[in-house]
Amino acid sequence: MKTTIYHADKTLTSIQPGADWSSVYEELSKLNLMVFGGRVYIVGVGGLLLSGGNSLYSTARGFACDGVANFQVVLANGSIVSASADENADLYRVLKGGSNNFGIVTRFDLNTFKAPATLW
């Protein structure tokens, strides 16, 4: 559960929670793209996004969790749902910084943007 896939038609990147930020950045750098991710590359995607997370772009764009467009979640009853601003919006809001107390997140869909020429 460490896959990173960019969807050009949606400008979203789907990332599984077992990935770390170094593998995500490596994959996206091939396309000159970026997501709101962790400042420390060895940190896991799941933990950072579910706890809010300081991003490389926090001062300009908010916390890392603010870049999540959709969560794929397995609920306690075994059903798999999507949580976004339009679908299961209450679950979407609590997952953005609310930790993993509400289900098992199996995929994060992050807004993706062109990587800046320089970061600093």
- List pLDDT tens digits, range 12-64: 999 999 999 999 999 999 999 999 999 998 999 999 999 999 988 888 888 99
Model confidence at 117: pLDDT above 80 = no
- Structure token pair of residue 65: 């969790």
Distance (Å, rounded) from C-alpha 38 to C-alpha 102? 22
Annotated domain spans of the chain: 4-114
On whether the 4-114 domain is CATH 3.40.50.150, my answer is: no
Contact 59, 67 (CB under 8 A): no
- List pLDDT tens digits, range 75-115: 999 999 999 999 999 999 999 988 778 999 999 999 999 99
Q: What is the pTM of this model?
A: 0.93
16-37: string of b/e by CB count within 10 Å (b at 16+)? bbebbbebbbebbeeeebbbbb
SS3 of residue 104 by DSSP: strand
